[in-house]
Amino acid sequence: MTTAPRPDARFRVEFDDATFTEDLEHTSSDTGRALAHRERDKLTADRLSPNRLKRCDTEARDGTSLPGCVKIYIPEPDGTWGMVFQLRIDDKGRPFLAYLAFGTRHPTSPGALSVYEVAHHRIHIQPPQR
Amino acid sequence: MASEPHVTLSGDIVGEYIVKDRRPNGELTLVPDTYPTVTPEYDGRPVTAEEFAAFEAEYGPFLPPDGEG
């Protein structure tokens, strides 16, 4: 049975402190860190509307694979940074978005990881195959 | 929170390193940058593909993927 979408529905968002801290330690931009903090506060308080969420690719052109994941760009709609979340079900059967990574969408420094590569590493515990 | 300086080495040693110490004479102490090292811990479990589609139907459609990740 198909259920009609609920226009007021929002996803609860959870942040793992150690993960968020590690990402901000690897964000060289003061602006990026400030935006990440502001977004975290906002999402924790207001939850996240599905119409802000973009599905991640199961096979992206950079070799990353993020099934069951969604993302937002910061600032919206097409900002420099991205935040990736994994859709999960808690022990009571309720859905929530689990923070996976924050970072630059298109890093310019040689060897630097994109937010997608970081997220991929965290759910697969290994780097993407290029 | 300020991030630690990073350098990219090329030559006999290649890779990403974090600058742990920087002395007045220019000497640097470097450690390999193994980021990311933290694995997030959350309750529950990731949704299956079927559950993902069901939640999308219930909560409203997500924007389509754009191929970049």
Give me the domain span that covers residue A81: 12-124
In a domain, B39, yes or no: yes
Residue of A30, A31, A54, A117 best to disrupt the B interface, most CBs of B under 10 A: A54
Q: What is the pLDDT of residue A76?
A: 94
Q: Do A50 and B46 touch (CB under 8 A)?
A: no
In this structure, the number of other CB atoms found within 10 A of the CB of residue B24 comes to: 5
> In the prediction, which pLDDT does A98 show?
98
Residue A7 lies in a domain: no
The C-alpha atoms of residue A41 and residue A127 are separated, in whole angstroms, by 29
In a domain, A106, yes or no: yes
pLDDT at position A50 is 92
Q: Does the beta carbon of B1 lie under 8 angstroms from any beta carbon of chain A? A: yes
Number of structural domains chain A divides into: 1
Query: For residue range A6-32, what is the model confidence (pLDDT) as tens digits?
Result: 778 899 999 999 999 999 999 989 999
Domains contained in chain B, number: 1
Q: Quick check: B15 and B8 in contact, CB under 8 A?
A: yes
B63, amino acid identity: L
Q: What is the pLDDT of residue B53?
A: 94
Please tell me which of the candidates A19, A61, A89 has its beta carbon nearest to residue B68.
A61
Mean pLDDT by 10 residues, chain B (69 residues): 76 90 96 93 95 92 94
**CA trace torsion A37, A42, A45, A47 (10° rounding):** -120
pLDDT at A55: 97
E strand or H helix at A109: none
What b/e readout covers A7-33, taking b as 16+ CB neighbours within 10 angstroms?
Answer: eeebbebbbbeebbebbbebbeeeebb
Q: Which ipTM did the prediction report?
A: 0.87
Domain housing B32: 6-59
pLDDT one-digit tens code per residue, A37-81: 999 999 999 999 999 999 999 999 999 999 999 999 999 999 999
pTM, two decimal places: 0.89
Chain A contact for B47 (CB, 8 A cutoff): yes
Domain assignment present for A31: yes
In a domain, A5, yes or no: no
Q: What 3-state class would DSSP assign to A62?
A: coil
